[in-house]
């Protein structure tokens, strides 16, 4: 069954334009935060339709700064999902607050908004949903809960560039939205992240906080006479983005719509062909939203199969096709059990999904023929 060439799970889409843009920044000798970062922020804000975009060193940093800006601290609780990468919840832990997990919807894999109210307490200060794979959460319901209880809505949009919800782009809806530009994301700067917000107040707090609480970033300092002068006005962090990263981000942003077009073409093949295999549940198609298709996650009907999900992933690997699994629910990790007292069995939908999910290869280094090969191989394994 092994086909000739290896089909990797993910690859960044890097071309000569990124290489020359980064080389130009290197040649300019201004390589850290500067004019490219400012331009990237302007264009990113425009792209998602937000008033402010603040570039940072990672989405984890973006989560941390957003939580701090929202006033989250020791003794507070933040409602979130156990079905995510540890960074989402880890950042809540940085502040001393507790991540209060709410189980997921078994089909969308996003937080089940109907189960949030039973977890609200007087200590709840914010809701931190994750748009898994790039499919938006039920933002209307989340906004209603937040407005009724005076909570801050910080959405983890690490996968959601570009995702539209009822005609509005993710990044322009929540109080604060955070994006990841990690190597495998739709838009990558190798490492990097962005916070978007329509609030002048949040932007004003976050801007200095990402660079040690200084009152001007170093490029602005360099541009006026008082080169050496700065003030420290608040608790800060070392979370700024470098111009080398921003230069790459600008190129990636310009190519993003083209990239999504190709992803959609591949998704159409996956959806049409895999939708006909009874042992597979394909992700829901787009209805009131546009998916970023960062990940393509199928669910195996393991009750109808002779092999487990792990055996399926192994069989794909033996056939030279790399798959992944998103996610191991956080409450199953020793750290979350020891620090917060979570236990296996606490979130049955997340656990059931974890046993069934497989993320299939999806990136721009693949051809349509590769996608057909993935489907052919799946059909062979399942038969």
Where on the chain is the footprint of ligand PLP (CB under 6 A)?
Answer: 58-60, 84-85, 87-88, 130, 156, 158-159, 180, 182, 193
At CB < 8 A and 24+ separation, what contacts does 74-78 make? Answer: 75/123, 76/123, 76/124, 76/125, 76/126, 77/121, 77/123, 77/124, 77/125, 78/124, 78/125, 78/126, 78/127, 78/128
Query: In the numeric block, which tokens belong to residue 2?
Result: 């092994």
**Nearer of residues 178 and 281 to ligand PLP, judged by Cβ:** 178
**Nearer of residues 59 and 137 to ligand PLP, judged by Cβ:** 59
Q: How far is the CB of 200 from ligand PLP (least distance, A)?
A: 25
Q: How many CB atoms lie within 10 A of CB 202?
A: 23
Q: Using the 8-state DSSP alphabet, how is residue 285 labeled? A: P
80: which residues sit within 8 A by CB, 6+ positions away? 88, 89, 92, 99, 100, 101, 102, 111, 127, 128, 129, 130
**Nearer of residues 230 and 333 to ligand PLP, judged by Cβ:** 333
**Nearer of residues 60 and 377 to ligand PLP, judged by Cβ:** 60
Q: Which amino acids are annotated catalytic?
A: 185
40: which residues sit within 8 A by CB, 6+ positions away? 53, 55, 241, 246, 247, 249, 250, 253
The position carrying tokens 């310009």 is 254
Angle at 177 between CA 174 and CA 179, to 5 degrees: 150
The position carrying tokens 């997990």 is 101
Q: How far is the CB of 163 from ligand PLP (least distance, A)?
A: 13
Q: How far is the CB of 131 from ligand PLP (least distance, A)?
A: 8
Question: Rounded to an integer, what distance in angstroms lies between the CA atom of residue 342 and that of residue 131?
Answer: 23
Q: How far is the CB of 90 from ligand PLP (least distance, A)?
A: 9
Q: How far is the CB of 60 from ligand PLP (least distance, A)?
A: 3
**Nearer of residues 138 and 156 to ligand PLP, judged by Cβ:** 156
Residues in the chain: 383
**Nearer of residues 116 and 158 to ligand PLP, judged by Cβ:** 158
Query: In the numeric block, which tokens belong to residue 9?
Result: 């799970």
Q: How far is the CB of 283 from ligand PLP (least distance, A)?
A: 16
Question: Rounded to an integer, what distance in angstroms lies between the CA atom of residue 84 and that of residue 79?
Answer: 13
């Amino acid at each position: 069954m092994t086909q000739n060439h290896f089909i990797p799970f993910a690859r960044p889409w890097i071309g000569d334009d990124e290489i020359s843009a980064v080389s130009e920044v290197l040649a300019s000798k201004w390589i850290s935060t500067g004019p490219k970062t400012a331009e990237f922020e302007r264009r990113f804000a425009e792209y998602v339709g937000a008033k402010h975009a603040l570039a940072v060193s990672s989405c984890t940093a973006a989560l941390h700064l957003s939580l701090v800006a929202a006033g989250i601290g020791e003794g507070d609780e933040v409602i979130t999902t156990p079905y995510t990468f540890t960074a989402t919840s880890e950042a809540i832990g940085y502040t001393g607050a507790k991540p209060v997990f709410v189980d997921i919807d078994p089909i969308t894999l996003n937080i089940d908004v109907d189960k949030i109210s039973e977890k609200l307490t007087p200590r709840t200060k914010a809701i931190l949903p994750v748009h898994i794979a790039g499919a938006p959460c039920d933002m209307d319901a989340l906004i209603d809960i937040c407005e009724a209880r005076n909570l801050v809505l910080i959405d983890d949009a690490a996968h959601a560039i570009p995702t539209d919800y009822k005609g509005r782009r993710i990044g322009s809806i929540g109080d604060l939205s955070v994006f990841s530009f990690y190597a495998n994301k739709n838009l990558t700067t190798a490492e990097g992240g962005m916070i978007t917000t329509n609030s002048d107040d949040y932007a004003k707090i976050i801007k200095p906080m990402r660079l040690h609480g200084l009152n001007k970033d170093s490029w602005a300092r360099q541009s006026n006479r008082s080169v050496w002068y700065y003030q420290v006005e608040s608790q800060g962090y070392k979370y700024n983005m470098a111009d080398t990263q921003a230069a790459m981000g600008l190129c990636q942003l310009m190519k993003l719509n083209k990239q999504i077009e190709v992803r959609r073409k591949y998704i159409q093949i996956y959806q049409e062909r895999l939708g006909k295999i009874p042992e597979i549940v394909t992700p829901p198609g787009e209805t009131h939203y546009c998916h970023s298709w960062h990940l393509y996650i199928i669910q195996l009907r393991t009750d109808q199969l002779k092999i487990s999900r792990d055996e399926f992933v192994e069989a794909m690997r033996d056939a030279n096709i790399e798959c992944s699994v998103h996610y191991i629910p956080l409450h199953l990790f020793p750290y979350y059990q020891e620090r917060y007292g979570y236990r296996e069995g606490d979130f049955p939908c997340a656990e059931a999904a974890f046993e069934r999910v497989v993320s299939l290869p999806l990136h721009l280094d693949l051809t349509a023929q590769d996608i057909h090969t993935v489907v052919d191989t799946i059909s062979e394994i399942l038969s």
